[in-house]
A and B are shown apart, each in its own frame.
Chain A
Amino acid sequence: MGEPKAEVLQGTLDLIVLKTLDALGPQHGYGIAVRIQQVSENLLKLNQGTLYPALLRLEQRGWISSKWGTSENNRRAKFYSLTKRGKKQLAAEAESWERMSSLISRLLAGAES
């Protein structure tokens, strides 16, 4: 990851949002929040307000793009979708998470024996 320690928490949220958009396709903020709740089976107590600054940050970095459209109940909503760069970033981050978690698993396994 290589990011300074202070931004670790934000990085995790970014990954989750990217993954969600990858799975759902274009979605608005509420939809993303609902999906995260569903998938994590309510274990991840997400402060839904923090979603919006995160979405802005992702957009500033060029990993997602936004467009105003109409939601399923005929309301105006801003839809976010993954960009090509975002897809690449997602793949890269997922890979480093994999490596990190397998390393930790190995360490924990080693400590026990």
Chain B
Amino acid sequence: MNSMRSVLGRLAGSFRKSPADTELDEELRAHLEALTEENIRRGMEPEEAGYAARREFGGVEQAKELYREQRGLPFLETLLQDARFGARLLAKNPGFTCVAALTLALGIGANTAIFSVVQGMLLQPPPFPRPEQLVMVWEDVHLPNYQNDQNTPAPGNFMDWRARNSAFNGMAAIGYRSWNLSGDGEPLRVEGEAFSSDIFSVLQIYPILGRAFTATDDGPGAARVAILGYGLWRSRFAADPGVIGRTILLDEEAYSVIGVMPAGFHFPDPDDQLYVPLRLTGEQAANHGSHYLRVVARLKGNLTPGQAQSDLAVIAREVAAQHPDTNTGVGVRVIGLREQRTGSMRRPLLVLSGVAGLLLLMVCANLANLLLARGSSREHEIAVRTALGASRWRVTRQLLAESTLLSLLGGAVALAGAVWGISALRSMVPAGQDLSAVVLNWTVGIFNFGLALLAGTVFGLVPAMQSSRGRPLDALKDGVRGSSPGRSARVRRILVVAEMALGVVVLTGSALLLRSFLRLQEIPLGFEPQSVLTLRVILRGPQYADLPRRAAFYREVIQQMQGIPGVRAAAGISFLPLTLQGRTAGLTIEGQAPPAPGQLPFADFRSVSPGYFGTMGIPLLQGRDFSWSDAAGAPLAAVVSETMARAFWPGGDAIGKHFKMGGPGDDAPWITVVGIAGNVRQLHLVGEPRPAIYFCAAQDAGNGDTLRDWVVRVSGNPADAASTVRSVIWRIDRNLPVSRVQTMEQVRSAYLGPQRFNVLLTGLFAIIALVLGAVGLYGVAAFSVEQRRREIGVRMTLGASRADVLRLVVAQGAKLALVGLLTDFVAAAMLTRTIAVLLYGIGPHDPLTFLSVGVLLFVVAILATYLPARRAMRVDPAAALRYE
């Protein structure tokens, strides 16, 4: 040790001549000169005097080294020394090092990956100036038949709020639009928005090219203008600055391009690519009954969303008094923009962060245990070092350096794994979220290594403190080979129990989520999603302007599609089920008393082609399906859902009854119920299905709805039919974009996306936790067996059979496991309450789940102790006794 130090010291000295060194040189020279002079005075020749002086002095270089040693090497060098020593030790035990580094990588990597998503989605403020001032404003509707606290506002309400509020510096409205973009190039389906012209001052984002909308552009008679999104400008127009002033065709209508938005601007949806003015007509602006806008506003000064909401609530009450028919029960809800965007992901992400943190704790407990076990066998080495003069702090520091090195190694592996993990997470996150900021950046990297260092300190501290407390004299004596010092064993047992507690929590939570997810999947959809291909084709343009031509198109398409070999049936609908899109309106039932103001019954409605129910496998319970003779001119027909029939015509036969869309005073045509279909989950899987109406697409029931989504039932793999179906469409009309081609099963999976995300990730964590727990238990049990070899040898000599020994070891392990499990369930019970919100159909304390997890863990624990126990059985008693 000393020589290494002096070598290092000499190395250090050789390229760093500090002032202290120069002073020493001078001192030593003076000393030697004095000695030489003394020798000369005694009569020696000058040269001989010099040599004699040096001999008397006794080694100048050694003196210098000792001096430097005393002065102490710079902190950095001691650190390097410790690190080098630690590295050598780790290299000597490659097995342990690999396992430890990998488990660390798992724990740290999981946390890093989750953190990258958290920081990319939750921590990023929306990319607007002063984003904390931006809010979305919704209608908060409370009616007996309809509740929705994020209802899209009606234009009339928006106008009233904007005119009368005192809480906002600006309020703008947004309407969803989508078009067939044609003209130069392939027809493209483009999603976008219609903005009221004040949107730019509200958001404080302006086009980078050209100009923004003005109030004139927003007026009813203005020329048609459009602003391109950055992505569309690059992909379709090759980022040509000359695009300003160019004409594009949207749904066969000419629009003039007046501007391009900056890169990264997608508001409010990630898919938005094109923006046009909203251009509300006078009639639309006065309409309080059609709800389809979105409203964004900027708060004044330091007002909170809550304060703004109170301000608007007063206005809402005034409006309700002025328009009781449409606005009774219609309040206001103000949500901050950031919360709006991340709200649905916040809780699952936080839960996942918690789970990942638990996992890391488990890893630390595991490693602390392993290091503790190893520490007792290194007592000898540590004792020697202490005897040679190493202080307790020195020993602790050296052990900490080892654990830190290990954790940094694990951290490096974790970072590599996190790259893969992040891309995997991105693909799993439910659609519709803005993922652009979820990347491996400096913040994530620093988090990763910071966590690694923390972990290393945590799990290295316990064994380091234990080991350095050892009594050197005892350990130096031969024959006492670290027989479990009582305190160390107890600490290890506590660690194991703690680790199992964490494991139980992770496993139980994951099991609950899994069962909840399975329940969700089992909910009957009301239709058969297998073997169905879906696609979206939207008719736009003057050739489809009137209903008869559209109906002709529908009929042609269905006929052609049904002619494809392998296709069993084809049909169309305005909005597919489970796509969170749909339309709802109020209606009046013939022969029933007019409802109180604002208490119109509501129903979801869609248009379908004849044969839709058969194609989707929806049972027709009574009456008949539509046919092509339900066309313009024929009596208006509708098929209603089971719930609707029961709700609006209780106890009677709904067939033949009449209703109309709108209120009792509205001049709308009466519609006859011709059939009752089984309930279908359209918007929500959870909760009672809402009343639903189906209109025939060939008739105009006054709602102007067209067919957008097409469903094709095939007798093989639906994905295979995609290209054929597409070519059928294009044979009929070359210019129609075909989009959203996916199987119905894929639609359903996408709908369950958020839940699936939770389940997949927590499931993954649960498996990791299980493996960690098993490895930890195995390590402890194996080491315990190793320690007790002599005891086992003695027992066997005294007559115990191998089976007895096995039973002994396993029984002890089982006892530990049982105690651990029982205490852990308390912790798990407390913690699972936090995920109660995410569960469906199952309580957070579901006994079956808890029991199964308990049994599983117990079995794993037994297995983990059984394997080393088997090794114990093979102990040769004579050899064990001899082994000192």
* Residues in A lying within 8 Å of B, measured CB to CB: 4-7, 28-30, 33, 47-54, 56-57, 60, 71, 73, 75-78
Contact = CB atoms under 8 A, between A and B. Distances in A.
A46 to B, nearest CB: 8
B60 A6 contact: no
Given A47-B58, A53-B63, 14 more contacts: A6-B389, A28-B31, A29-B27, A29-B31, A49-B59, A49-B62, A50-B63, A51-B63, A52-B24, A52-B27, A52-B63, A71-B34, A73-B34, A75-B34
Contact of B34 (A4, A5, A30, A53): A30
Interface centre among A29, A30, A73 (most CB of B within 10 A): A30
Interface in B57-106: 57-60, 62-63, 66-67, 69-71
B389 A7 contact: yes
B387 interface: yes
Given A48-B56, A48-B58, A52-B63, A28 B70 contact: no
13 contacts: A6-B387, A28-B31, A30-B35, A47-B59, A49-B66, A52-B27, A54-B70, A56-B71, A73-B37, A75-B33, A76-B30, A78-B26, A78-B27
A30 B388 CA distance: 31
A37 B248 CA distance: 106
A53 B67 contact: yes
Given A6-B389, A57-B70, A77 B63 contact: no
B28 A52 contact: yes
Chain B binding site: helix, strand, loop or mixed by DSSP?
helix
A49 B57 contact: yes
B69 A49 contact: no
A33 to B, nearest CB: 7
B240 interface: no
B70 A56 contact: yes
B26 A6 contact: no
B23 interface: yes
A23 B30 CA distance: 23
B26 A76 contact: yes
Contacts, number: 66
Nearest to B62: A49
Contact of B70 (A49, A53, A71): A53
A6 B472 CA distance: 13
Contacts of B71: 56
Interface in B10-49: 23-24, 26-28, 30-31, 33-35, 37
B31 A33 contact: yes
Contacts of B35: 30
Given A7-B389, A48-B56, A78 B67 contact: no
A54 B56 CA distance: 18
Nearest to A29: B31
Given A30-B34, A78-B23, A49 B58 contact: yes
Contacts of A48: 31, 56-58, 63
A4 B385 CA distance: 13
B69 to A, nearest CB: 7
Contact of A56 (B28, B67, B387, B389): B67
A49 B55 CA distance: 10
A36 to B, nearest CB: 13
A51 B34 CA distance: 15
Contacts of B30: 28-30, 71, 75-77
Nearest to B70: A53
Contacts of A33: 31
Contact of A6 (B23, B62, B388): B388
Contacts of A6: 387-389
Nearest to A4: B389
Contacts of B62: 49
Contacts of A60: 70
Contacts of B26: 76, 78
Interface centre among B34, B57, B60 (most CB of A within 10 A): B34
Interface centre among A29, A48, A71, A78 (most CB of B within 10 A): A48
A60 B66 CA distance: 14
B33 A52 contact: no
Contacts of A54: 70
A56 B63 CA distance: 12
B387 to A, nearest CB: 7
Contacts of B70: 53-54, 56-57, 60
Contacts of B66: 49-50, 52-53
Nearest to B34: A30
B233 to A, nearest CB: 71
A18 B136 CA distance: 81
B852 to A, nearest CB: 58
B245 to A, nearest CB: 82
A30 B31 contact: yes
Nearest to B72: A60
A77 B67 contact: no
Contact of A77 (B27, B56, B57, B69): B27
B880 to A, nearest CB: 36
Nearest to A7: B389
Contacts of A47: 58-59
Contacts of B60: 49
- Nearest first, the 8 A-B pairs at minimum CB distance are A49-B63, A53-B66, A47-B58, A53-B70, A6-B389, A30-B34, A30-B31, A53-B67
A54 B62 CA distance: 13
Interface centre among B37, B56, B388 (most CB of A within 10 A): B56
A75 B26 CA distance: 10
B249 to A, nearest CB: 87
Interface in B719-736: none
